Structure 1
Amino acid sequence: MPSTAAAHSTDLPLVLAGPLLRRLEARRLVLWLVATRALDARLRLAWDDPQRGLVELDLPLDDSRCQRLAIGRHAWLHLIDVPLDEPLPADTFIHYDLHVDEDGQTLTIADWAPHLLYPGQTRPSFVRRGRLDHLLHGSCRKPHHPSQDGLLQADALLAVSREQPAERPALLMLSGDQIYADDVAGPMLVAIHRLIERLGLYGEHLDGATVSTSEALYAHPAGYYRREDLLPAYTANEELRERFFGGVEKPVFTSANAHNHLVTFAEVLAMYLLVWSPVPWRLIDPRLPELPEHLAARYRDEEQVIRAFVADLPQAVRAMAQLPCLMIFDDHDITDDWNLSAHWERVAYGHPFSRRIVGNALLGYLLCQGWGNCPDAFASELPAIRNLLATPDHQQRLGAPAQDAIIGRLLAFSHWHYSLPGQPLLLVLDTRTRRWRSESTLSRPSGLMDWEALCELQHALLDEPAVVIVSPAPVFGVKLIEIVQRLFTWAGQPLLVDAENWMAHRGAAHVMLNIFRHSRTPANYVILSGDVHYSFAYEVHIRHRDSGPRIWQITSSGIKNEFPARLLDWFDRLNRWLYAPHSPLNWFTKRRKMQITPRIPSRSRRGERLWNGAGLGQVRLDERGRPSEIRQLNADGSAPTCFEVTAREELDAPD
């Protein structure tokens, strides 16, 4: 590998992305950033203490506090994980800075990332809240969706609370689809390739593919808008072969938008840099590639949307630099219908090329998302990853056997879930990799968590007074939509409608509902979800149990995505008609023992329960962990939508 000095190029910026503020605890601070070289930096913290006055900490970021991984000739990923001898104060502003020596000067964040500062700031700040009583949450941030970016609402909220630490949210929880690896706009893929070239992100050998190397993939005539022609096929699987989009066979990778599906590890890393920082966009000049006219027209349309997304990036990442951000994957972070069924897994992981595609996205998730959520969980995996990235061949490609071995370990890894201690306890669920697979019919949707994972969840809940659970898919969803998904499953086509929800698998649904009824589990549950591209809030009670527990299902989706408006309107309306309180159809659901009451959006025109609009969810909790306010901060800047308590209206029939 080239030395650090050789890898550094004077015409590149010092830092490409970040710092993003990740896990924050009383005695721990985690930051993520990517630089053009391995940084020798110092972390500076400062706050006002009522007894001691100004408190300042100067912490050298040696190897015990900062791990550095080369991901290319001019790209180094840094995870700053600082244990603290004394606890950080609660509910007060804590200012931080990263000092880097460069050419005899000491540079600060104000020098190399001024877009992360609010007017009047000289360094970023954060607040460690004493209680988890104010949260922002959302999912599904697709860069080329024409809506505005909901993360700008987090930025606006921080801007107006700059002098009020108690008004700062405790956390920004991103509950899935932080990137869309399987649904990429043409201009974004061109930008990804230009950035790979600019930074020298490592290439790789491709086994079982039409092309043998990443460089050959990037140069292939089908590289833009026709990648489905290059994706692996599995001709023995009739269920997958019968899925079509626009007359194109869609085996193994089932996204209807797989025309630009990310394939290589470098593509995944470049995507993260481009959705989390405006800086890489300044290094490249994406140009329209040679395309047929109909695809060129599509490219130009998408380019306008991507330009607007890039223009908003400084505000979006400014919020992520000053607000603790935790994350969990959902399907599009990896690929559509990821692990939907045992049959899908058998097909995808049985082919070396599709296994590599999934594995590259999962490795990218680990380094860019999972590692910052809970660094300790990945201690056993990092040595092999570090060795892989430290030993590219003379053509700057990763070693295929080592890469495949790491992917095999990640596919078997079982600690993607995590928790954040506090009041209330935060539990973030992995609903993608520890699935309850159907043993009778492999093509049926798997349960979102298996028996062992659900037992671990129940154990974690014991004797907690209140809990916030993050489940990427809603536990309590829209019945009609779930019935439509079930009908397609019975017809042998679960992939056509993404038939994955908690109620799709009898065993997983039964155990999850029994956990809520357990006498030693919390009195108050708040479930935060995304995934579905619309937002809603339900209040749930167990029938004939006046003492509780009480459950709130709060769904906010998407940050930059929406459901087809007319279709959702019909689903909402039909769901109210078909599953009215005394409808006999309620007897055929798995939630008969639950009384479910919708909260009505304040801007509902005709009694809609579902709110369709990009934005960010906001939840405030009282001292007992119960929601005192549920809002959707709309991305278009209109007045927030409040989910209001109304006269009780049950959606399930009584026993």
Structure 2
Amino acid sequence: MPPGERPPEQPPRLLLGPLLRFVDADSATVWVETDRPCLATLHAGGRQAVERTWSVHGHHYALLVLTGLPEAAVLPYEVRLDGVRAWPAPDQELPPSVIRTIRHDQRLRLAFGSCRRSAGHDAEALRTFGADALVALAGKMATAPHEQWPDALFLAGDQIYADDPSPELTARLKAAHRDTDAHDAGRRDAGTRHDGGRREVPGEVHDFEEYTWLYQESWSQPAVRWLLSTVPSCMILDDHDLRDDWNTSCAWRERMERQLWWRDRVTGAFASYWVYQHLGNLSPRELAEDEVLAAMHTTDDDATRTRVLDEFAWRTDAEPDTARWSYFRDFGGRGLGIRLVVVDSRCSRRLDPDARAMVDDAEWAWVLEHALTPPGGERIGHLLLGTTLPAFLPAGIHHLEGWSEAVASHRAWGPVAAWLAERLRRAIDLEHWAAFRASFDQLVDLLRRAVEAPEPPSSILLLSGDIHSSYTARVRLRGVRHPGTAVHQLTMSPFRNPMHRAVRLAHQVIEWPPVSRTWRKLARLAGVADVPVAWRLEHGPWFTNGIMTLSIDGTRATVEMDRAEVRHGREELTRLGVASLAP
């Protein structure tokens, strides 16, 4: 019997989930992982969706698509497995999980952030990692009316750390890899390796199975599990889903591709991301058109489904233009749409040192189309651009990244300087939009085109994470008047993974005005032109765990900034401030 499965005389149970994923005015999707094959049923609002689970790598999943729901409704729901109620759990102390279909009242509350390390919630873990912002958010929601809840949650990368798991999971991985070594030792030919490179990275995730351990650890904490069951979520991957600095440069990638463990890691990362995160980002219409999902439903056996998924996963990395991880969602109301376009700024990069791009041409064309083309019969009243990596950084880091790209390309100061710049680029994570200048310029051009449209949006808001500090920045396009359109960078990181004190000090040194001006001069000497846009930080930076909540009401937008902290042994949110996102 596979690990985690129960004897057949007992009813099936949920291993993970339910996760409420996509919700619009009349439909919703709910994702579950179960302990065995079964018939999963979702009941809400007098409607039901039924799906038999499909299996890959010995794990069993269903994504239930419920349609025909009333708009602007609050609908408690339940999940049944083989006819037996599995959710809500009998001992659940938190409020009932609900589906809240979209209201057409031109309002939205969107909570977001990134970078959440899995760790315990005992006194030692709280001292080491601080309070978990998602646990604190769930605690706040549990006693608040639905009107004060987020309407959606955007998880902007690094939900899991394949290269730096929790201490508990690291110990489990090392033990599993030692067992693999011992097994292989008995059948190893002289001079031949069978361990797939596990010995090189004994405390890191190796394959699909071990990725499931990461998700189990991240999403099973009771408060977080309830939060994800009752707030629709959209997600995007970032480097720690695979490995720190993933696709930073061509040199980094060439080095990784020589590692014995690389293929299994890549295949496990993309296959598990597709199952656990990506599918739920899609609308029911997009799900109906997904060829890999169709294969999961129509293929009879686990082995064939696993092969189809693994081949797809490897191909998406080897040939990035064969898959698209970017996606969009529409919120808001009739006549004033709120569109979220989430940009994959990690997988589709072009890494040629002389022609780097954050997003390849095919992906960028898709981004432009969905950022600039309104939904049918509406206009884009607020354009939200989700990108794990901030575009508008503190000034010193921006100039440092521009300098590093120019010098690392060999064009500026020759091969020796290029070699040093490349190592600096990887050592201190110089990989944001400013380090891909051609893509930064494309993004600024997108902003210009949006504000110059016949009916420009009231706001363009960039939602980011990654950098383990949080701030808001007001952006102004030079040479373009946009008095009716507010442009802001909103960066929220981490949910739970505070920056080390030494790194925080380094950031503060880089932003010291004399140092920042020096990097600007060096960037100009390296041939980096000034940018046709200006920005300044208005709030922050903060270096604490927390969460931001974007609030839109008609043409107005504000952002609530909360810090997660431990008070009297409880993980709670403390308000740092509320900022009006005006032009």
> Within 2, Cα distance between the matches of 1:193 and 1:383?
36
Give the equivalent residue in structure 1 for 2:549.
Answer: 618
Give the equivalent residue in structure 2 for 1:527.
Answer: 462
What one-letter code is carried by the residue in structure 2 that aligns with 1:134? R
1:571 and 2:485 aligned? no
Name which of 293, 298, 306 aligns with 1:382: 293
Name which of 329, 334, 341 aligns with 1:420: 329
Shift of 1:27: 2.5
Shift of 1:619: 1.8
Q: Is the 8 A contact 1:599 1:646 kept in 2?
A: no
What one-letter code is carried by the residue in structure 2 that aligns with 1:478? P
Percent of residue pairs bearing the same amino acid type: 19
> Within 2, Cα distance between the matches of 1:358 and 1:507?
27
1:367 and 2:275 aligned? yes
Shift of 1:646: 12
1:270 and 2:213 aligned? yes
1:182 and 2:153 aligned? no
CA displacement, residues 372-406 of structure 1 (integer Å, 9 cap, x when unaligned): 1116367212355678993449xxxx98x767533
> Within 2, Cα distance between the matches of 1:154 and 1:644?
19
1:21 and 2:20 aligned? yes
> Within 2, Cα distance between the matches of 1:591 and 1:635?
40
RMSD: 3.7
Q: Is the 8 A contact 2:558 2:578 kept in 1?
A: no
Helix, strand or coil: the match of 1:465?
strand
Shift of 1:314: 0.8
Name which of 324, 328, 349 aligns with 1:435: 349
What one-letter code is carried by the residue in structure 2 that aligns with 1:126? I
> Within 2, Cα distance between the matches of 1:532 and 1:612?
10
Q: Structure 2 vs 1, CA of residues 433 and 178 (structure 1 numbering), >3 Å: closer, same or farther?
A: same
Helix, strand or coil: the match of 1:469?
strand
Helix, strand or coil: the match of 1:639?
strand
CA displacement, residues 448-500 of structure 1 (integer Å, 9 cap, x when unaligned): 21233223222222253321110000011123234445566542312212221
Q: Is the 8 A contact 1:599 1:643 kept in 2?
A: no
> Within 2, Cα distance between the matches of 1:407 and 1:484?
34
Any stretches of 5+ residues in structure 2 without a counterpart? 120-127, 186-193, 332-336, 375-379, 409-417, 567-571
Helix, strand or coil: the match of 1:158?
helix
Shift of 1:128: 2.8
Helix, strand or coil: the match of 2:291?
coil
Give the equivalent residue in structure 2 for 1:216.
Answer: 180
What one-letter code is carried by the residue in structure 1 that aligns with 2:435? A
> Within 2, Cα distance between the matches of 1:72 and 1:456?
32
CA displacement, residues 212-265 of structure 1 (integer Å, 9 cap, x when unaligned): xx96258689xxxxxxx97759xxxxxxxxxxxxxx9x9xxxxxxx55110021
Shift of 1:528: 0.6
Q: Structure 2 vs 1, CA of residues 12 and 410 (structure 1 numbering), >3 Å: closer, same or farther?
A: farther
Give the equivalent residue in structure 2 for 1:136.
Answer: 111
Q: Structure 2 vs 1, CA of residues 362 and 7 (structure 1 numbering), >3 Å: closer, same or farther?
A: same
> Within 2, Cα distance between the matches of 1:425 and 1:570?
36
Helix, strand or coil: the match of 2:442?
helix
> Within 1, Cα distance between the matches of 2:575 and 2:562?
6
Helix, strand or coil: the match of 1:267?
helix
Q: Any residues of structure 2 matched to 1:268-347 within 5 Å, and which?
A: 268-277=211-220, 313-347=221-255
Give the equivalent residue in structure 2 for 1:203.
Answer: none
What one-letter code is carried by the residue in structure 2 that aligns with 1:140? C
Q: Structure 2 vs 1, CA of residues 452 and 586 (structure 1 numbering), >3 Å: closer, same or farther?
A: farther
Q: Is the 8 A contact 1:337 1:498 kept in 2?
A: yes
**Aligned length in residues:** 518
What one-letter code is carried by the residue in structure 2 that aligns with 1:270? W
Q: Is the 8 A contact 1:533 1:563 kept in 2?
A: yes
Q: Point out the more displaced range, 451-460 or 362-371.
A: 451-460
TM-score (norm 2): 0.78
Shift of 1:148: 2.0
What one-letter code is carried by the residue in structure 2 that aligns with 1:276? W
Q: Structure 2 vs 1, CA of residues 156 and 38 (structure 1 numbering), >3 Å: closer, same or farther?
A: same
Give the equivalent residue in structure 2 for 1:34.
Answer: 33
> Within 1, Cα distance between the matches of 2:132 and 2:360?
35
Give the equivalent residue in structure 1 for 2:141.
Answer: 158
> Within 1, Cα distance between the matches of 2:53 and 2:529?
49
> Within 2, Cα distance between the matches of 1:189 and 1:165?
38
What one-letter code is carried by the residue in structure 1 that aligns with 2:76? H
CA displacement, residues 495-526 of structure 1 (integer Å, 9 cap, x when unaligned): 21222110112211111111111122645201
Name which of 388, 401, 421 aligns with 1:472: 388
What one-letter code is carried by the residue in structure 2 that aligns with 1:456? W
Q: Structure 2 vs 1, CA of residues 218 and 453 (structure 1 numbering), >3 Å: closer, same or farther?
A: farther
Shift of 1:644: 4.4
Q: Any residues of structure 2 matched to 1:382-531 within 5 Å, and which?
A: 382=293, 390-392=301-303, 405-411=311-317, 412=319, 413-422=322-331, 423-438=337-352, 440=354, 446-462=356-372, 464-485=380-401, 489=408, 490=418, 491=420, 492-493=422-423, 494-518=425-449, 519-520=452-453, 522-531=457-466
Q: Structure 2 vs 1, CA of residues 499 and 11 (structure 1 numbering), >3 Å: closer, same or farther?
A: farther
Q: Is the 8 A contact 1:13 1:36 kept in 2?
A: yes
What one-letter code is carried by the residue in structure 2 that aligns with 1:406? F
What one-letter code is carried by the residue in structure 2 that aligns with 1:88? P
Shift of 1:361: 0.9
Give the equivalent residue in structure 1 for 2:123.
Answer: none
Helix, strand or coil: the match of 1:610?
strand
1:147 and 2:130 aligned? yes
Shift of 1:38: 2.4
> Within 1, Cα distance between the matches of 2:255 and 2:506?
35
Give the equivalent residue in structure 2 for 1:89.
Answer: 71
1:634 and 2:546 aligned? no
> Within 1, Cα distance between the matches of 2:182 and 2:385?
41
Helix, strand or coil: the match of 1:26?
coil
> Within 1, Cα distance between the matches of 2:182 and 2:529?
48
What one-letter code is carried by the residue in structure 1 that aligns with 2:19? L
What one-letter code is carried by the residue in structure 2 that aligns with 1:181? A
Give the equivalent residue in structure 2 for 1:59.
Answer: 48
Q: Point out the more displaced range, 180-189 or 23-32.
A: 180-189
> Within 1, Cα distance between the matches of 2:339 and 2:442?
21
Shift of 1:16: 1.2
Q: Point out the more displaced range, 453-462 or 364-373.
A: 453-462
CA displacement, residues 316-361 of structure 1 (integer Å, 9 cap, x when unaligned): 2111111111100001012112222233334444666412211211
